[in-house]
Amino acid sequence: VRCDSKFSSGSNGGGGAGAAAANGNGGNGNGHNNGAGGAPCGWRTYQQAFMSDGSRLCLNCSKPVPDCSLPPASHLDNTDYLFCDPACETRYYVKASGSALRRTLARLEHGVCQMCGLDCANLVRQLQ
């Protein structure tokens, strides 16, 4: 599937919050391919599991993807048929992308360490 460069995390194919995916070809064992191995420039490929009847399984939890009648060989241009719901998509990208993990953590903790209570965001501002 096409990957808009504004969502790409560089040439390593790490997957950002809006990263797109393709069919079940290629990949490097962690769910995505770094763009090599037949994927056109600007596209990213993921390994997606399918049931014996050809229905797609969620990349994160392996539950069936609802309302998908596309054949397994279809190239997708968005992530609609890769995940069973938007929450599963978010959980996948938090696990797959260090930058998505940092953004989620910052949104949850607001820069305050949960172990010692230090306001790290404020400390960084003071040091700058």
Q: Give residue-wise pLDDT tens across range 6-21.
A: 444 443 333 333 333 4
At residue 13, the pLDDT reads: 39
Q: What is the mean pLDDT of the chain?
A: 73
Say yes or no: 103 and 92 in one domain: no
Would you say 99 and 9 are in contact if contact means Cβ atoms under 8 Å apart?
Answer: yes
Residue 109 in tokens:
């903790």
Say yes or no: 52 and 107 in one domain: no
Q: How many domains does the chain have?
A: 2
Residue 64 has φ and ψ, to the nearest 5°, of -60, 140
Say yes or no: 73 and 123 in one domain: no
pLDDT tens-digit profile of 70-102? 888 888 888 888 999 999 998 998 888 888 888
Q: Which domain holds residue 92?
A: 1-96
Residue for token digits 């090599």? 36
Higher pLDDT, 127 or 98: 127
Say yes or no: 87 and 117 in one domain: no
Measured CA to CA, the distance from residue 72 to residue 48 in angstroms comes to 9
Say yes or no: 67 and 109 in one domain: no
Nearest to 2 by CA among 21, 25, 26, 27: 21
Residue 12 in tokens:
């390593």
